[in-house]
Structure 1
Amino acid sequence: MSDIVVPAEWVADRLDEVRIVDTRDAWEFDGIGHIPGAVNVPFDSFRADEHAAEDDTESEPGGPEGDAGGATTGQGMLPGAEVFTEIMSEAGITADDRIVAYDDTHGVFAARFLVTAGLYGHDPERLHLLDGDFSAWRLDHETASEVADFDRSEYVVDPPAETPLVGIDAVAAATDDPDTVVVDTREGWEFEEGHIPGAVRLDWRELVDDETRGLRPREEIESILDERGIAPDKRVLLYCNTARRISHTYTVLRHLGYPDLAFYEGSLTEWKADGRNLETGA
């Protein structure tokens, strides 16, 4: 297991060595407090609305099959290279920084930030998700109300030549591939209303312990994955509705060492908009 998902003690010992990104809303960051040294990058600031995604499609990183990675419909998609550059520069973050992200929702919004950073070229080995969230952190660790002052940086976006992103045609082909398992990370009722044919359901929250607000023990997670046929020797292709929830599952599977992960950024929003077939029921 890697240090992609890191415990609070790991972070507390490195407060002076890492850049901490709080992805909660500004009112939470300012009014409730935050991890010392954190900078606030609210979730809404790094997801594109429909028009932004359409305007910036050419700047989005592409998938390994050459598919367009940036979806052009729905909420929660990649913000565009220029927008992300400005966000990171304003936060005083450089491309060389080691980043720890957190939220107060079991890590799902923080994971989306980390996935976005990785797709725009930040070294994945320098991106970490706090195991747990702010509510868990403040039970045993110091919080701050003052805002740390960082000078503006000149963040450089440099998307890698290959990313885990796949487009809609690659997803359709994967539904007939015995070496690929297509995973729907939404809730059960959503899955029953309609899902990509052949997909298996894995609600992202199943991997989270509600009491600790962090990940379940590794053996419990592996048991759940094994039950669904989500094995390390398979190519695992993830989707949800708008690519938020798959970000958490993607991060957890990377943490567990799964070697072949595919990320359908368009997710079910794009799939339905394109008129593709859906299966219903459990």
Structure 2
Amino acid sequence: MSYTTLVSSSVLADHLRDPGWRVFDCRHQLSEPAAGRRAYAHAHLPGAFFLHLDQDLSGPMNGRNGRHPLPDPRLLADKLGAAGVAMDTQVVAYDDAGGAFASRLWWLLRWLGHDRVAVLDGGIDRWRAEGRPLVTDIPNSPPVVLEVDLRDVLTSSDAVLDSLGQGGFCLIDARSPDRFRGENETLDPVGGHIPGARNRFFRDNLDADGCFRPAGELRREFLALLAGCSPAQAVMSCGSGVTACHNLLAMEVAGLPGARLYAGSWSEWCSDPARPVACQAPAV
């Protein structure tokens, strides 16, 4: 069986020794980039490899391409291949933030053309709460070649700019409501959002236990947010193209595939003062 959105802790526990599965720890803190690696060294799921958001799941910044530009696809595929990920490997990503960072790896693998990737629902917190094993040893794996077949699932800043006022896109911003309104902005030099964007805080996809809410609930809420637009018209953004992937995953869970990612997101958009900025939530 293939898992392409979420996987439960019980299912993963049954496959920890499965040679066709690979697990990746994606824990990260934006305010303290070394925290995820320290947490991994302290304890992680058996067999889990570590991937760093800045160093592995992002590319170099140039001041105009946002805080977490997409990595070079071949370099990313080589890192995954070094951990034993081939096209038929089932990949599971986890973090301790409700999937906020694990969903980035989920989306990146799908971008590379690899469908057998899922996020561990509830992450390491649920795993630990259930009394499941944690280890400190570092895994290794014979390297393999992961083929790359890039998919057309991205939208550029120019395309977003050209769409303003035209109704071609339904732009959905995954940041918290206060940052969306332009308040309490601590990560980017400019507060606000792209004109016409709608706000869907990624944490609204989760229940009180940090697991994804039922598919039916997510579907109703995203359809209301789309307000007649098709999922294929949806473009997901956030601060830097990371938590936008959480909304993309939630839409897949909800049975609403086809949305695209604006990878540069707000941090790229606001780097050009010629691009317009809004600070009030639009009516939907």
Is the deviation greater in 84-93 or in 254-263?
84-93
1:261 is matched with which residue: 251, 259, 262? Answer: 259
Q: Deviations over 1:247-266 (max 9, x none)?
A: 11111112222132111112
Change (3 A) 1:174 1:131: farther
Confirm or deny: 8 A CA contact 1:186 1:204 kept in the other structure: yes
For residues 1-282 of structure 1, what are the structure 2 equivalents within 5 Å? 3-15=4-16, 16=18, 17-24=20-27, 25-31=36-42, 33-46=43-56, 47-51=58-62, 73-121=65-113, 123-124=114-115, 126-147=116-137, 149-160=139-150, 162-178=151-167, 180-193=169-182, 194-209=192-207, 211-229=208-226, 233-234=230-231, 235-274=233-272, 275-282=274-281
Shift of 1:101: 0.4
The separation in 2 between residues aligned to 1:156 and 1:260, in whole angstroms, is: 24
Confirm or deny: 8 A CA contact 1:91 1:153 kept in the other structure: yes
Q: Deviations over 1:140-177 (max 9, x none)?
A: 142221425323413334132x4210112221233334
One-letter identity of the residue aligned with 2:221: I
Give the TM-score of the pair, scaled to structure 1.
0.82
Change (3 A) 1:150 1:35: same
Higher helix share: 1
Gaps of 5+ in 1: 55-71
The separation in 1 between residues aligned to 2:256 and 2:162, in whole angstroms, is: 21
The separation in 1 between residues aligned to 2:22 and 2:76, in whole angstroms, is: 16
The separation in 1 between residues aligned to 2:223 and 2:86, in whole angstroms, is: 39
Give the TM-score of the pair, scaled to structure 2.
0.81
Confirm or deny: 8 A CA contact 1:232 1:258 kept in the other structure: no
Three-state SS of the structure 1 residue aligned to 2:226 is coil
The percent of aligned pairs where both chains have the same amino acid is 25
One-letter identity of the residue aligned with 1:119: W
Q: Deviations over 1:28-80 (max 9, x none)?
A: 1121x2222211223232222315xx9xxxxxxxxxxxxxxxxx523212121
The separation in 2 between residues aligned to 1:232 and 1:98, in whole angstroms, is: 33
Gaps of 5+ in 2: 28-35, 183-191
The separation in 1 between residues aligned to 2:107 and 2:4, in whole angstroms, is: 15
The separation in 2 between residues aligned to 1:270 and 1:262, in whole angstroms, is: 16
CA RMSD, Structure 1 to Structure 2 (Å)? 2.3
Shift of 1:206: 0.9
Confirm or deny: 8 A CA contact 2:122 2:209 kept in the other structure: yes
One-letter identity of the residue aligned with 2:100: V
The separation in 1 between residues aligned to 2:9 and 2:98, in whole angstroms, is: 13
Number of aligned positions between the proteins: 257
One-letter identity of the residue aligned with 2:222: L
Change (3 A) 1:95 1:150: farther
